[in-house]
Structures are given as C-alpha cells and as structure tokens.
Amino acid sequence: MKILLIGASGVLGNRLYNDTIKKKWNILGTYCSRESEGLCYLDLKNRKSIEKIFRLFSPEVIVLAGGLADVDQCQIKPKLAYEVNVKGTLEIIKKVKQYGAKLVFLSTDYVFDGKDGPYKEKDRPAPVNIYGRTKLEGEQSVKGLLKNYLIIRTSQIYGLDSRSKNFAIKIISNMQTNKRIYAACDFYSTPTYVGSLSCGIIELLEKGRGGTFNIAGTDFISRCEYVNKIADIFNLDKRFIKKVKLRDLKLRAPRPPKAGLNATKISGISKNILLSCTQGLNVFKKEMRFL
Ligand SMILES: NC(=O)c1ccc[n+]([C@@H]2O[C@H](COP(=O)([O-])OP(=O)(O)OC[C@H]3O[C@@H](n4cnc5c(N)ncnc54)[C@H](OP(=O)(O)O)[C@@H]3O)[C@@H](O)[C@H]2O)c1
C-alpha cells in the first residue's frame, strides 16, 4: 500500500508515520512549516506543492492529518482556517479522485455542540466554533464527493509530541515547574492516547473499511478530573491545580462543554485498542522514560 501522510510532523502524524514504517508500508510523510528529516514539503494552501507530491509518489491512500488544529487560532484567523481546512481539503479530494485513491480524513468531536456528549457517529453535528465548522465542511465534502473514504473523528489527543504542544504535555511541564493549572470542572471530553488512534487507523486500512468511525479513549471526563489523573500518574503536586468553570478560562473560541466520542463502533472491529485514561497515561509515561 502506497500511503501519503499529510501532516507527518504533527502529534498524530508522527506516531502514525513511525507505526507504518515498522509495518514496512511504503509511506511518504509531509511537513508544512517544520522541516523534518525524511519528510517532504506540502502546504494545503499551495496547489503546486500538492501537485508535485502526487506526481512524485502516486499514492493509493492519502491520510489527511494536516491542517490548522489549534482551536483558538482558527477563531482568531478564520480566513486562514477556511483556506487550510476547507479549501485545502477540496484540493486533496480533487487529487484523490484523479488518482483513484482512498482518503482518510481526520476530524473531531468539536463538530458537535457539546450539549449531550459523548457522541456516536450518527449523531447530528452542530459546531459552535470556526474550527469545528471547518472540520464539518471538510467531512461533508469528503462524503459528498468521494466513495472510497474513511472519516476518523477523535478527541483530545495525548502522547509523545516533539513540539510539546498537546494538553497533557503542557500540564506535565507546567506542574513540574510549579505553575498554576486552571482546570475546568464543566468541560468534558474523551482523552485519546495517540497510539490507540494510530493503531485504529492502521487496522481500518488493513481491513479495507470505509465510512465514519470514532476513535477515542473510554473515559468521558472533565478537564479537572483529567488533570488530577495526570498528576496522580506522573506524581505531580496537586496543590497547583485550581478548579474553575469553562467560562473563567476566557478562551478565544467557544468550546462544546460536553463533547467527547462514543467509540463502541470501532471496538467491535479492532479489539483492545481503546484505553482508559489511566491505561493510556501509564503507557505514555513509560514512553517518556525512554526519551
Ligand atoms: N490534537 C487533538 O486533540 C485533536 C482532537 C481532535 C481532532 N484532531 C484532528 O486530528 C488531526 C491531527 O491533529 P494533531 O493534533 O496531530 O495536529 P498537530 O499536532 O497540530 O499537527 C498539525 C499538522 O498539520 C500540518 N499543517 C499545518 N498547516 C498545514 C498546511 N497549511 N498544509 C499542510 N500541512 C499543515 C503541520 O505541519 P507543520 O507542523 O510542519 O507546520 C502538522 O504536521 C487534525 O486533523 C486535527 O484536526 C486533533
């Protein structure tokens, strides 16, 4: 299988790239702003860079894990968010059609309004911020224009991350340096270990599956509970955790308060890939020891 992985320099992309290399799949990964050894340049805003990579590699599967995934940045720069996440996805869809390939599109629990999570695949999306809207438009284009696709929704990814950008890593490094952590007790998600997500995508590809799948952790918990779990597992001082309400955080983009995903559909196909927070954080801690 010849796989083009767009966004191989991101937290999911990096893990998926390494997991597929171990399986000896023929994979080409791309970066956008952070040049990394072994990866090729592709910018979703730059049609020529897309054409060049497709001409060079002729992929059979394209995993679109790249894009603007920073929720507040999308709210601050809506034009950029649309250009990358919506128009960029359309450019990729055109190429997927031209090459008769399959597309794996990464999406989010933020396509929902968060009134009634965790959500199943068939629940009705109603995004409350620009990021969620751009991802939903991406999903709709994929479903409307392609037959051979997978839409993978996930939630609150954690795991090794070379840029130290994901929430769990920020919490760990802030608590290690005695910085105060504001954790919302009314903001829920289903934190997802990046290894589970990567494994689920690989299994769905190996089994030739199509359609929409949720891949998420098994715990539906508030940020406050999540931060306390991180502190327990990484032996951090809980005195620095301050329990607040979501509205106190004054975030630029509104958040769906109770989003999160119900992933029972994939657990019927891929056994034992979904982890609780305690299980996933323990695996993550072991991986950190080897750095
Ligand atoms: N992180 C989460 O908690 C979460 C939750 C739900 C869904 N998701 C979705 O899962 C996917 C992967 O997320 P992630 O957390 O791994 O993202 P990430 O760590 O923020 O990485 C984003 C990736 O996209 C690339 N990228 C950024 N702008 C680009 C552009 N204009 N053209 C091409 N590539 C571009 C980045 O490359 P450079 O760094 O080299 O610029 C990087 O490789 C995204 O679709 C995201 O929406 C993430």
pLDDT in tens, 96-141: 999 999 999 999 999 999 999 999 999 999 999 999 999 999 999 9
User: What is the Å distance from ligand 1's center to 237 Cα?
Assistant: 31
Quick check: CB of 12 below 6 Å from ligand 1?
yes
Establish whether residue 214 lines the binding site of ligand 1, counting it when its CB lies within 6 angstroms of any ligand atom.
Answer: no
Instruction: Give the residue, by CA position, lying nearest to ligand 1 atom 24.
Output: 66
Please indicate whether residue 84, judged by its CB atom, sits closer than 6 Å to ligand 1: yes
**CATH topology for 2-160+191-217+260-275?**
Rossmann fold (3.40.50)
Domain boundaries along the sequence of the chain: 2-160+191-217+260-275
To which residue do tokens 């769990």 refer?
Answer: 168
Predicted pLDDT of residue 274: 95
* Atom 3 of ligand 1: nearest residue by CA position: 156
Q: What is the pLDDT of residue 289?
A: 82
222 lines ligand 1 (CB under 6 A): no
Q: What is the pLDDT of residue 271?
A: 82
Ligand 1 midpoint to CA 68 (Å): 6
Read off the pTM: 0.98
- Residue 53 Cβ < 6 Å to ligand 1: no
Compute the distance from residue 239 Cα to the ligand 1 centre, in Å.
33
Question: For every one of its 291 residues, what pLDDT tens digit does the chain have, with 9 covering 90 and above?
Answer: 899 999 999 999 999 999 999 999 999 999 999 998 999 999 999 999 999 999 999 999 999 999 999 999 999 999 999 999 999 999 999 999 999 999 999 999 999 999 999 999 999 999 999 999 999 999 999 999 999 999 999 999 999 987 767 899 999 999 989 899 999 999 999 999 999 999 999 999 999 999 999 999 999 999 999 999 999 999 999 999 999 999 999 999 999 999 999 999 999 898 889 999 999 999 999 998 876
